[in-house]
Amino acid sequence: MSGTARLGIGFVGAGFITRTFHSDSIQKIRHADVAGIMNPTVSKADSLAEEMRAADCGDPNTYGDVRELVRDPAVDALWITSPNYARVETMEMVTEELEQGNADLTGVAFEKPLGRNVREAQRVVELVEQTGLAHAYLENQVHMPSVKRMKDLLWSNGRPAGRPYLARSTEEHSGPHAGWFWDGKQQGGGVLNDMMCHSHKVNKFLLENPETDGGGLRPIAVAADISTLKWGRDEYAQELADEYDVDYENTPAEDYARGSIFYETEDGQLVVGEATNSWNFVGSGIRLTMELLGPEYSGSVNTIDTGTEVFFSDNIGGEGEYYVEKQEAEQGAIPVVPDETAAYGYLEQNKHVVESFRAGESAREDVHDGLEVVRLCMASYKAAEEGRRVEFDDIDLEEYVPEPARGEFDSGLAGIRTD
């Protein structure tokens, strides 16, 4: 499309991630409007469409079927944010409409993860390549201004002492927003598949040499473990059953995961990316921390150390307010992220994708990056299942499905005993 034309975006999904971050960021980006919204529950799409009109960010049509959205001539590109279990089916329908000449799209962008396993992620890549569309993998954390600035400073000023060798990343909150996230088969696993995809990617980004094509890193081994610490307990499992109709006692997924990826650099050095993720953090809200360490330097990011805080006593009445994603309280001392969309990288991410698609190009993080992240996550599950560090050259992940997605995960002590 012309570099001067506005990009008409079609949202496939009108859930939390779209409403809270994608729609808000698009309102702040020049040369882009929301042209269409598809959601199986059309009333949710209608509600979001009204918000977009009120914000003067397009006049989107709403649909209950992906095919109808794709056929809308005002839609130039898709942001696919629908649930993990629908990812392949959605892209198959998009491809079919394009090949039958019913649609004319410029690009397609996928919310993380690209698939529930390597086989599904590969299928998405095949379909995207079949269409010839420009493409993007929507990994917001590598676009966080704080993360990018930390990397720039440490690599430029610390490099004379030697390259960075250790990256650490955590993402923690109290649990997902929708029932399908808690279902190992629908989601593809538990917290590892849901959140370690972020952490593995941001660690690799921090460790990659900005002066080397492709970053110069090759994964050589992985060590990991997964457990269910909170949500398998009787009272919390019952809470999930009551709210989401999920049987976490009999078919649990992990709510805690830890993994380390060992990389070889372009000059044969060893560097490590450590990731820790949980649905067990009961605090002010979602907590993201990143660190990068080198021989004579270090840097860190903590998203709830914002410098802005409010306090409300128990005597305050009325309805509570939203202050930060995944907040657990509406009174007391609460940190405030003044602009979550910008702080978490969604604004810069979507700005980059919009401009890439307008130029007819794929984004810096594309579906091949998404496939690589799925491989890292599946290797982490495999290492956890086998209870050992595994070498990437020795594992076959093409047909591998993690234990929680197979319904075979033992969340108790029996799952970790070696005697």
Residue 417: the pLDDT is: 47
Residue 283: the pLDDT is: 79
- Which of 83, 84, 82, 74 minimizes the C-alpha distance to 52? 74
Per-domain residue ranges for the chain?
A: 7-112, 142-346+374-406
- Tell me whether domains 7-112 and 142-346+374-406 share a fold: no
Using CA atoms, how far residue 389 sits from 160, 260, 269, 392, in Å, is: 32, 9, 19, 10
- Tokens representing 142 are 């590598």
Q: How many CB atoms lie within 10 A of CB 146?
A: 17
Residue 4: the pLDDT is: 57
- Give per-10-residue mean pLDDT for the chain (419 aa): 80 95 96 98 98 97 98 98 97 98 97 97 98 98 96 94 97 93 97 98 97 93 97 95 94 97 97 98 87 96 76 61 55 72 96 98 98 98 97 95 96 59
- Which of 210, 305, 339, 209 minimizes the C-alpha distance to 263? 209
Residue 310: the pLDDT is: 63
- Digit-coded pLDDT (tens) for 346-401: 999 999 999 999 999 999 999 999 999 999 999 999 999 999 999 999 999 999 99
The predicted model scores a pTM of 0.92
Strands (E), 13-142: 32-38, 61-63, 77-80, 107-111, 134-138
- Digit-coded pLDDT (tens) for 68-77: 999 999 999 9
Would you tell me the crossing angle of helices 367-386 and 197-207 to the nearest 10 degrees?
A: 110
Q: Show Cβ contacts of residue 239 under 8 Å, excluding neighbours closer than 6 positions.
A: none
Residue 284: the pLDDT is: 73
* Phi, psi torsion values for 155, nearest 5 degrees: -70, -40
Residue 419: the pLDDT is: 47
Is the dihedral angle over the CA atoms 184, 11, 128, 359 positive or is it negative?
negative
Would you tell me the crossing angle of helices 197-207 and 145-158 to the nearest 10 degrees?
A: 30
Any idea which fold 7-112 has? Answer: Rossmann fold (3.40.50)
- Tokens representing 7 are 């990009």
* Span 142-346+374-406 CATH architecture: 2-Layer Sandwich (3.30)
